[in-house]
Amino acid sequence: MAILHTINGPEDVKALKPSQLPALAAEIRSFLVTNVARTGGHLGPNLGVVELSIALHRVFSSPRDSLIFDTGHQSYVHKILTGRHDFEYLRQENGLSGYPSRAESVHDVVENSHASTALSWADGIARGIQRDHRKAHAVAIIGDGAMTGGMAWEALNNIAEDPDRPVVIVLNDNGRSYAPTVGGMVRRIDAVRKMDAVRVNRSYERALEWGKHTLQKSGLAGQITYDALRGLKRGVKDIFVDAGIFDSLGLKYLGPVDGHDIEQLEEALTMARKYGGPAVVHCITEKGRGYKPAEEHEADRFHAVGAIHPETGLPLVPSRFGWTSVFAEEIVEIAQADPAVVGITAAMLLPVGLGPLKKKFPDRVIDVGIAEQQALTMAAGLAYSGSHPVVALYATFMNRAYDQLLMDISLHGEPVTICLDRSGVTGDDGASHNGMWDLAIAGMIPGIKVAVPRDEKRMRELLREAVATPSPTIVRYPKGSLPEELPTVRKIGDLDIVHEHGGESQPIVLIGYGPMAHTMVEAAQQLTDYPVMVIDPRWAIPANEGLVNICAQARCAITLEDGLVAGGVGMGLQQLLAQNLVHTPVATLGIGKEFLHHASRGAVLHQQGMTVSDVVAAVQALINN
């Protein structure tokens, strides 16, 4: 790391000789593989933007120029070039975030981990630059997968209205998000990507030669700047290759540029910077570039990794059978029996477990790209037409389509099932990726039902019940491996009693929603001096009427949910009890109304007071009071 250890900020990157840059790129790739292999993280996307990140910091001046990464998982190289070399605890408590973080550096502008937002940020920042009459640029580095999101096109529409707005859009085009990018817009970009590179390069060279000739005639030889070329119609026409959709908006387009050629990148980015108005630089990059396992196998395997062997790319600890795998198996079985079932994914076919369904029924899985709003409203239309759509999303991404869930699906009572993977505390991906808002969101929506399975058996049962329900349903389940089966001791109506001891007279009632029932059973086993009943309601929303009678006879009740306490299912139960004039003391445990710093799931649960000892303490507090 002879060069890398000298890089403590962008000024050090600018000071390097061009001949040193390939060696720096090689050192960065080695650094990434060594460190991300140890901690886990987004490896493939960052290997693909090494040269691009170097060129950005040589052409622009951060933090005067704002660099906005969309999505932020491609910012590891940016972190390195801005002096953050300590990757030992990447994505771990007190270590570097896996996304840009304002708390870490002035060079991190947007903590951007949800896609398709960078162009809107850039538009707003650029307007502020104009208002202040500053000489600066807003630079949005947007992956081509994020261009499938509608918000990106809303921003483009606004950016294009002002020919002087200081915005540079760097389209990082590797043909993928989590998987191959889809959609008609992307096909247009793809067509540009596949243009004859020789023709493009020759046009570029002809334009420069024309510029040189004109400058020599004007006595400015040796001062070839884009400002001079800008007024030359012939040169501009050849440099800014026709890019269809961008040209139609009046945006200047440069490319396609080899995203692994620093010299080409610097030239194109410099032109864009000096142009004086909105410009698009289209860079062709390769996900996983320079890492043999990614180049020889499917690059998407290395989009995000756990701890892996750095040379082979194989996981150090084999993955355990998890919640997503159960969904993947069961939805295929359900679809075989019910031809109305259609799977929908928002650019995450494999991460959410719809791959097997796509393989079995290729025409019954729809990938809408990074467009959750489109996914839900299209699902409403499919349901109206007689299908039963099953929309599989990460829980955090459903937040983006709240209006569609409320006004398109629920208002119309359409039978759509939404399966929320990685619900609750996910931990190391940080504040934006915890799936902690969905229960509170769903609790505000009339007519929706939410199931929360506690183990594999209940996952399969509840998924089938949800798909069979002729109204909107949600099934939520956490990230990671499955817990041991927690059998039902007996049932009271629709409620599962999963543990009880000490008799039925004034029991302490512990209500654990889904996987939190396991925590409640462990707590009950420590409360040996009292009669205790542990309940898993299975369906968390709406609040089960059967809990009213049980809680009315209880000494006290504790609820534990892997979601927000404020507006959560525990508070929903409290409201139901109050409506029925039940005054049993109730304590609700769950996640506080705050953004959670990245840490392990266990550490976050401890911080939020959601452990076995916290449940026991809550019981003692109610009894003592």
Instruction: Report the amino acid identity of residue 490.
Output: R
Residues 104-114, mean pLDDT to the nearest whole number: 88
pLDDT of residue 198 exceeding 80, the answer is no
DSSP class of 201: H
pLDDT at residue 187 in the model: 52
Among the residue ranges 69-78, 309-318, 427-436, the one predicted with the least confidence is 309-318
Residue from 381, 171, 206 nearest 278 by CA: 171
pLDDT at residue 384 in the model: 97
In which element (H, E) is residue 57 found? helix 50-59
pLDDT at residue 293 in the model: 79
pLDDT of residue 241 exceeding 70, the answer is no
Which of 84, 252, 400, 454 does the annotation list as catalytic? 400
Confidence of residue 285 (pLDDT cuts 50, 70, 90): very high
Confidence of residue 542 (pLDDT cuts 50, 70, 90): very high
Report the C-alpha gap between 341 and 336 in whole angstroms: 9
Say which residues have a Cβ less than 8 Å from residue 217's Cβ, sequence separation at least 6.
none
**Percent of the chain at pLDDT exceeding 90:** 73
pLDDT at residue 215 in the model: 53
Helix axis angle, 50-59 relative to 262-275, nearest 10°? 40
For 141-181, write each residue's pLDDT tens digit: 998 688 888 899 999 999 999 999 999 999 999 876 545 55
Residues 392-421, mean pLDDT to the nearest whole number: 97
Instruction: Report the amino acid identity of residue 149.
Output: G
Q: What is the dihedral of CA 397, 403, 405, 410, to 10 degrees?
A: 170
Residues 369-392, mean pLDDT to the nearest whole number: 96
Q: Look up 252 and say whether it is catalytic.
A: no
Give the angle subtended at the CA of 14 by the CAs of 254 and 75, to the nearest 5°: 65
* Upper half-sphere CA count for residue 312 (Cβ side, 13 Å): 6
Burial class (CB in 10 A: 0-12, 13-18, 19+), 337: exposed
Give the angle subtended at the CA of 439 by the CAs of 438 and 443, to the nearest 5°: 115
pLDDT of residue 1 exceeding 60, the answer is yes
Residues 491-507, mean pLDDT to the nearest whole number: 94
Confidence of residue 200 (pLDDT cuts 50, 70, 90): very low
Sign of CA pseudo-dihedral 308, 310, 314, 318: negative
160: three-class secondary structure by DSSP? coil
Report the C-alpha gap between 451 and 14 in whole angstroms: 55
pLDDT at residue 325 in the model: 95
Residues 489-515, mean pLDDT to the nearest whole number: 95
pLDDT of residue 183 exceeding 60, the answer is no
Residues 312-323, mean pLDDT to the nearest whole number: 73
pLDDT of residue 565 exceeding 90, the answer is yes
DSSP letters of 289-318? TT-HHHHHS-GGGGSSBSSB-TTT--BSSP
pLDDT of residue 48 exceeding 70, the answer is yes
Integer Rg of the chain from CA: 27
Give the angle subtended at the CA of 143 by the CAs of 142 and 148, to the nearest 5°: 100
Alpha-carbon distances, residue 374 vs 57, 135, 367, 580, 614 (angstroms): 36, 38, 10, 40, 41
Phi-psi group of 514: left, alpha or beta (phi > 0 → left; psi -120 to 50 → alpha; rest → beta): left
Instruction: Report the amino acid identity of residue 364.
Output: R
Q: Which alpha helices (DSSP H) does 145-196 contain, by range?
A: 150-159, 184-193
Binding residues: 73, 113-115, 144-146, 174, 291, 372
DSSP class of 407: I
pLDDT at residue 12 in the model: 97
The answer to whether 3 and 20 are in contact (CB under 8 A) is yes
Q: What stretches of 361-464 adopt beta strand conformation (E)?
A: 365-367, 388-394, 417-421, 449-451
The answer to whether 576 and 543 are in contact (CB under 8 A) is yes
Residues 482-506, mean pLDDT to the nearest whole number: 95
Say which residues have a Cβ less than 8 Å from residue 591's Cβ, sequence separation at least 6.
424, 425, 434, 436, 562, 563, 564, 565, 608, 610
pLDDT at residue 199 in the model: 40
pLDDT at residue 238 in the model: 39
DSSP letters of 521-538? HHHHHH-TTS-EEEEE-S
Q: Look up 372 and say whether it is catalytic.
A: yes
DSSP class of 89: T
Residue from 616, 604, 438, 456 nearest 534 by CA: 616
pLDDT of residue 237 exceeding 50, the answer is no
pLDDT at residue 303 in the model: 76
For 330-367, write each residue's pLDDT tens digit: 999 999 999 999 999 999 999 999 999 999 999 999 99
pLDDT at residue 182 in the model: 56
Q: Look up 561 and say whether it is catalytic.
A: no
**Average pLDDT over the chain, rounded to an integer:** 88
Give the angle subtended at the CA of 20 by the CAs of 19 and 21, to the nearest 5°: 95
508: three-class secondary structure by DSSP? strand
Which of 27, 372, 456, 500 does the annotation list as catalytic? 372
In which element (H, E) is residue 50 found? helix 50-59
583: three-class secondary structure by DSSP? coil
Binding residues for thiamine diphosphate: 73, 113-115, 145-146, 174, 291, 372
pLDDT at residue 592 in the model: 96
Report the C-alpha gap between 550 and 535 in whole angstroms: 10
Comparing 453 with 245, the larger pLDDT belongs to 453
Which of 58, 165, 193, 287 does the annotation list as catalytic? 287
6: three-class secondary structure by DSSP? helix
Among the residue ranges 291-300, 441-450, 520-529, the one predicted with the least confidence is 291-300
Residue from 156, 177, 201, 170 nearest 53 by CA: 170
Among the residue ranges 299-313, 358-372, 512-526, the one predicted with the least confidence is 299-313
Residue from 146, 95, 99, 90 nearest 118 by CA: 146
Give the angle subtended at the CA of 589 by the CAs of 586 and 595, to the nearest 5°: 145
pLDDT of residue 488 exceeding 50, the answer is yes
pLDDT at residue 147 in the model: 87
pLDDT at residue 209 in the model: 58
pLDDT at residue 295 in the model: 75
Q: What are phi and psi of 553, to 5 degrees?
A: -95, 0
Report the C-alpha gap between 181 and 287 in whole angstroms: 13
Report the C-alpha gap between 412 and 399 in whole angstroms: 19
* Domains located in the chain, CATH noted: 4-195+241-284 (3.40.50.970), 196-233 (no CATH), 323-476 (3.40.50.970), 495-624 (3.40.50.920)
Say which residues have a Cβ less than 8 Å from residue 102's Cβ, sequence separation at least 6.
108, 109, 111
